[in-house]
Amino acid sequence: MTKLTATINGRQERLDIEPLETLMDALRNRLHLTGTKEGCREGECGACTVLVDCKPVNACLFAASAVEGRRVETIEGLNDAPAKRLQDAIVAAGGVQCGYCTPGFVVMIIALLRRHPAPDEALIREALSGNICRCTGYAQIVDAVLAVAKANNGQQS
């Protein structure tokens, strides 16, 4: 076991991890942050997306030891007004069915909206190209982000 210290959702955490443990397993099994979903474990589905120093990563491929001293945000920590607006928009657009993919999408979209508050459809689809949803067909999720982008655009003008 080795010691890991990192800021997780704004809280300083100290935990014991195995040398090769993934960030996904550390979050889910040691901190019980199970909103980070386990899908493929191969970096293909995006269900495990979290932010490390504001950048989205696949937590199933990211070594837990690599977040030493860094800032991690999971779906549980994304509860400010912009994140709530996005989640409401996804629900309103019918972008949640089984919901398994939803946390990964929300985390990825928040990262996008922080960089581009009013992204166009091409930017949204590019940002979400690593996230798989087997239920919705994606259009509803894209519509939700476009609705948020439109609202953000209105606020800027």
The contact set with ligand FES (CB under 6 A) reads: 38-41, 43-48, 58, 60, 96-101, 133-136
Q: Is 16 helix (H, G, I), strand (E, B) or coil?
A: strand
Q: Which is nearer to ligand FES, 2 or 94 (CB)?
A: 94
Name the minimum Å distance from CB 132 to ligand FES. Answer: 7
Q: What is the DSSP letter of 21?
A: -
Cβ(107)–Cβ(68) under 8 Å?
no
Name the minimum Å distance from CB 36 to ligand FES. Answer: 9
Name the minimum Å distance from CB 58 to ligand FES. Answer: 4
Name the minimum Å distance from CB 153 to ligand FES. Answer: 27
Q: Which is nearer to ligand FES, 5 or 94 (CB)?
A: 94
Beta strand 71-73 pairing with 49-52:
antiparallel
Q: Which is nearer to ligand FES, 57 or 118 (CB)?
A: 57
Q: What is the largest CA-CA distance in the chain?
A: 53
Name the minimum Å distance from CB 147 to ligand FES. Answer: 18
Q: Distance between CA atoms of 71 and 52, rounded to whole angstroms?
A: 6
Nearest partner of 35 among 93, 110, 115, 118, judged by Cα: 110
Cβ(4)–Cβ(26) under 8 Å?
yes
Q: What six digits make up the tokens of 89?
A: 């928009």
